[in-house]
Amino acid sequence: MRLQALASVVVVLVTTTAVTAPYLRSYSRAAAVFARMAHLEGRVMNAFEWEREDVTIEMTTVRSRHGDLRARLFIPAHIRRAVTLVSGVNMLGIEEPRLYGLAYELASVGVAVITPDTPDLKRFDITPRTTDMIEDTALWLSRQRRLTQHGHIGMIGISFAGGLSIIAAGRPALRDRVDFVLSFGGHGDFPRALRFLCTGKEPALSANGGTTGSQAAGEVYRRPHDYGVAIILLDLADRLVPSAQVGPLREAILKYLLAAHHELIDKRLARVSFDEALRLAEALPEPSRTYMRQVNDRDVEKLGQLVAPLLVSLGGDADLSPERSAPPACRVYLLHGTDDTVIPSFETLWLERYLQGKAPVRVLLSGLITHAELDRQQDMREMWKLVDFFADLLRQ
């Protein structure tokens, strides 16, 4: 059964009692968010119209220790909760259509949302500064009395911003202000995630917390998405090509990464950008031309072999890995696509293991999700798990 079937079930079970039953109301709100994100039409969406707040959108500025951050506020007519929502690694930042849509739909069920522009992530650079910026945004939001009367907020991070949000939530300034943090397709250990992007090797968990058996027996291979290794090549270009080639190679990689992102939201624009990346590749001297051809060919094996020896110098800072940082005191939600090949779902399983006994944690690995995005072509059981997960979050 599709999402329409689930929505019909929720309508029948919830609409007659939700007004007087806050517990059930959380389910109708969660179902309304996903129904609208899936762009359902007709009778199902009409049934959810009563779960729609008027939303006001404002631009604002957040003072951060690393400079002012441009941010967008989504403010519902009746505020039940306020959250930070931080995008993953992409050039569009807060203009990314799926981020905008999620923020708007959360606001439409009573959640005030702030989406900060994080400049390093827009440059495909995952840095401790971004963790600071997430913390500064959360502190700013907790002090806005028109948005949160009691100074308590929630935090949501997408992709690599998920792990960084968990780190920020565990810092002393936020430990008594954050009621929950959600990592959506995030990581637990940054160097481990980078190794996967280069090798495709997933370390399996054993019952006692180590890898299962020998190294070979304890690893599973899954072909990583080419997006990740291209980002690593972007960062390491200055160590792989002559200095005069670094700028042009990075320009070509950025064009490819923009095309890869557009592929999810605008096929025509993606094709134009991919063609430009091919043109830029052919204009490069060697060895940059070979590396860029491998990027355009999505040859993750050769690119992984190229950059893997240099990973030892990347990502070791504790402010990049939740498993190397103090855990938050609040409830932690970990949501991941089962077959994610950008940040694999084993990252969530390892992070859950780390958090056990340190923080209350709820995990959902979902076949309904690819990498931090909804795939509508799944059955009702999968969708119900997702609605139940988000209903629990909305009750916090």
Number of helices followed by number of strands (H, E) in the chain? 15, 10
Give the list of residues 6+ apart from residue 53 with CB closer than 8 angstroms, or none.
Answer: 76, 77, 78, 107, 108, 109, 110
Torsion of CA 233, 239, 240, 244, to 10 degrees: 110
The alpha carbons of the chain give a radius of gyration, in whole angstroms, of: 21
Instruction: Identify the pLDDT of residue 20.
Output: 47
240 and 303: one domain? yes
Instruction: Identify the pLDDT of residue 272.
Output: 87
d(CA 233, CA 257): 11
Instruction: Identify the pLDDT of residue 82.
Output: 98
Instruction: Please check whether residue 141 lies inside any domain of the structure.
Output: yes
Give the domain range for residue 308: 226-313
183 and 101: one domain? yes
| Spatial CA neighbour of 103 closest among 80, 143, 72 | 72
301 and 334: one domain? no
pLDDT in tens, 197-246: 999 998 877 655 444 333 444 788 889 999 899 999 999 999 999 999 99
> Per the confidence metrics, is the pTM higher than 0.95?
no
Mark which of 281, 313, 345 sits at the end of a domain: 313
242 and 158: one domain? no
Chain position carrying tokens 């936020």: 174
d(CA 233, CA 239): 9
**Alpha carbon 181 to chain centroid, angstroms:** 12
Instruction: Please check whether residue 35 lies inside any domain of the structure.
Output: no
Instruction: Identify the pLDDT of residue 313.
Output: 79
124: its two tokens: 């495909």
Query: In which residue ranges of the chain is pLDDT below 50?
Result: 1, 12, 15-20, 209-217
60 and 152: one domain? yes
Amino acid identity, position 33? V
Amino acid identity, position 200? G
d(CA 351, CA 343): 13
295 and 345: one domain? no
Instruction: Identify the pLDDT of residue 212.
Output: 35
Instruction: Identify the pLDDT of residue 304.
Output: 95
Instruction: Please check whether residue 121 lies inside any domain of the structure.
Output: yes
